[in-house]
Amino acid sequence: MDALSQTLSVVRLVGAIFLHGRFTAPWCYQSPHADAAAPYLEPTAERVVIFHLVTEGECWVELGNLPPMRLVAGDAVLFPQGDAHKMGSQPGLPPASGARLNEVLARRPRLLSYGGGGAATKLVCGYLACDARLARMLLTGLAPVVKVGVRGSNSGIWLEASLRYALAEARSPRPGGHGVLAKLAEVLFIEVLRIHMNEQTDGRTGWLAGVNDRVVGAALRALHAEPARAWTLEDLARVANSSRSVLAERFQHLVGQAPMQYLAQWRMLLATNLLTQSNAPLARIAEDVGYQTDTAFSRAFRREYGLPPAAWRRRQLGSSEVQPGH
């Protein structure tokens, strides 16, 4: 299994579609910083990533001082750092004033329709909520806005058609529509990352660039396949068919940290998943993620999360019992 699939299989992701909009030119929609929207989208999430998919027509994205970016039907954009941005029928339009954010997001997916009556554009807006450490790992090195064309792949075409169907089902009395939409939002986010990985050019850095690299990618696959193994740099270099110096230099350049530092971080992410998704005792979890004793595991976990694992588990399970807006 590749490192991206392994990561996504063990880490809890929560996605949803929160807006289905039909806008007619001229129009402009202001999307706030993800931190401002997070309390209304997923109150318990540490990090929320916003993304949009154009299903009909075209529009423009404006973000800070970056040049406006044109989107056409089939284009998806995500904002790795959660930056506030504008979507509009043309650059430079003032955003419409309307209902407050909590009112817009109170009912999901919100059906929104406005504009000047000209050419129509349809947007599907969603989010993915995850652990802040996972977000840093996956999204480090990405541009402030990432654009891909999902209609260029068979999976993307299927996904867009499925979203249309699920949005129609969400408005019907039949049960399960919102659950399907939530899963499709997660799949769309992952598909955007996969397409972007395939389109990356030389010179990019970050975890996704590391996965694509021959040497670093092999090392990442090995670490993810056997996280409990007592890895050494020499072992990893042998697996990656590289020298220790080349592996260490490339890993640091692309991923932003040394291989053993990365392994320690990955073990902690695995541990948080096991703590929340299982009733396994601490000694078993410690062994599963590569620690010889639960004392060593507890010390490392507290250093990373500020609490011993037992206390962290109680806090997480307690906060998940009641989630506002769910």
Q: State the distance between the two ends of the chain, measured CA to CA, in whole angstroms.
A: 33
Q: Is the pLDDT of residue 118 over 70?
A: yes
Which of 82, 188, 64 has the alpha carbon at shortest distance from 132? 82
Region 296-300 average pLDDT: 95
Domains parsed from the chain with CATH numbers: 13-199 (2.60.120.280), 207-320 (1.10.10.60)
At residue 173, the pLDDT reads: 58
Q: What is the pLDDT of residue 302?
A: 95
Instruction: Output the DSSP codes for 119-175.
Output: SEEEEEEEEEEE-HHHHHHHHTT--SSEEEEGGGSHHHHHHHHHHHHHHHHHTSSST
* Residue that wins the pLDDT comparison between 59 and 42: 59
Least trusted range by pLDDT, from 19-23, 90-94, 124-128, 182-186: 182-186
pLDDT at residue 183, as a whole number: 85
Could you tell me how many residues make up the chain?
Answer: 326
pLDDT at 170: 67
* Range from 111-125, 164-178, 227-241, 262-276 carrying the lowest mean pLDDT: 164-178
Give Cα 274 distance to the centre of its chain. Answer: 20
pLDDT digits (tens, 9 = 90+) for 71-83: 999 999 999 999 9
pLDDT tens per residue, range 266-280: 999 999 989 988 899
pTM of the model: 0.84
Per-residue pLDDT band for 322 (boundaries 50, 70, 90) equals very low
Span 98-114, average pLDDT: 74
Over 60: is that where the pLDDT of 127 sits?
yes
Report residue 1's pLDDT band, with 50, 70 and 90 as the boundaries: low
| Least confident residue range of 46-55, 147-156, 214-223, 295-304 | 147-156
